[in-house]
Amino acid sequence: MNINELKKRIADAGCVGAGGAGFPTAVKVAEGADSLIINAAECEPLLYTDYYVMKRAMERIASGAETVMEAAGIPNGYLGVKAHTAKRLGLSHGDAVSSHVKVHILPDVYPMGDEIILIYQVLGRVVTPGSLPLSAGVLVFNAETLYNVDRAVKEGLPVTEKWVTIGGKVARPVSLKVPVGTGVAELFAHLGVSVPEGCVVIDGGPAMGPVINPDTAVITKTTKGLLILPDDIPAITSKLSQNRAVMAHASSNCCQCTLCSEMCPRALIGYPLRPHKIVRTSLSLVEEMPEAFTEAQVCSACGVCELTACCQGISPRRVYAQVKGILAKNKLRYQHKGELTVDPDREYRMLPSDRFMTRIGVAPFDAVPDFLPDGYVPSRVTLPMRQHVGAPAAPAVKAGDTVRAGDIVGAAAGVVSANIHAPVSGRVASADAGTVVIVTA
């Protein structure tokens, strides 16, 4: 299969980055790389979604990788998986999972799932700050994304289901596949899961996932997990803090110990990030001279600076987020000049996952979930037209229409966009520019 045919099949199926980024996969597939990395690092604590995708569908993941590699002329493939997951799966470093894909065991550190860190760990290459991995000769795809690619290419199946982990403060953590668009409240009711008083629900991992309202939130193509966590642990209190208070605290209380900069995962591979300096910078100065702060764009928002390094409760991550907003408003992008130097002490400054879990208060909730069988069908699905990076899909149905599972209900509206398909058969209850709601038959 040539690369253009592959891209068309992937685009038709609505494949996007299933690891959480949501970038349309067809746009990402390109020639010019010599290596493909399957990102199965499962970056954040408490998530076991990719673990179960690998445990139950490793052949599909490898087949999807081989298909992309053949079409794009990529000779080398690597399955990047953390040591604890590899042990559970019975994998060893260098094992072949397919003809051209070998296992690369990653250390159990956070945030190993950041593709910039992953590329350096696997290949020893530093992607130039502000550039795409392709500039370093690499393509990176999440394990579930390649599972979806294989289904699209081999069977013409669109992305209509999502593998998710339900964990945290629950009696029985589980992983399962559910239709995209399933309401979180309905799913919790089906599983007998309740949100205790004093707890919140996180979409994704405890460090980077946002707090959501379970009564209105739905499963999307990028949902990796739903975690129920106490609102008084460090991972959550940082999310609930008011932005104005965070900014005032940062500028007035930093002791300039520099530990945030010394532990920043991207700074350790040479990126120009100095969190200890940004927190003492006035946002009014950034507004006045935004071109002097463009390096903020290469921050991954992993939260190591805020959740582990700082002893003062300061959030350099939140400050960087504010600076990024100002840069976006001024349409400024970071352009790197000069050499990059990896910190010789990087190996000793990486953050062990178990220590990170303890520090952010989620260690008591870490448990390998049970896997539930397929077949759950909700009473309705709510499909946001924006479940991906780029332009939202345009509704392709109207209220009252009857649809079958797999029909396009939202058409990609641009080069960087993605189709949305009906995950269930039923009647369209409503359709507007933002969402399509289907009541199951």
Spatial separation of the C-alpha atoms in residues 275 and 279, rounded to whole Å: 6
Q: What is the pLDDT of residue 231?
A: 97
Which residues of the chain are modeled with pLDDT < 70?
441
pTM here is: 0.96
Q: What is the pLDDT of residue 433?
A: 87
Query: What is the spatial distance between Cα 191 and Cα 185, in angstroms, rounded to a whole number?
Result: 10
pLDDT at 253: 86
Q: How far apart are CA 389 and CA 163, in angstroms?
A: 20
Contacts 24+ apart (CB under 8 A), 405-411: 405/160, 406/157, 406/158, 406/160, 408/158, 409/383, 409/436, 409/438, 410/383, 410/385, 410/436
Q: Give the model's pLDDT for residue 51.
A: 98
Residue 301, pLDDT score? 96
CA 36/CA 300 separation, integer angstroms:
21
pLDDT at site 441: 66
Cis peptide before 111 (omega within 30 of 0): yes
pLDDT at residue number 121? 98
- Residue-wise pLDDT tens digits, 324-339: 999 999 999 999 988 8
Model confidence over 63-105: pLDDT tens digits?
A: 999 999 999 999 999 999 999 999 999 999 999 999 999 999 9
Question: What pLDDT was estimated at residue 98?
Answer: 97
Say if residues 221 and 410 touch (Cβ distance below 8 Å): no
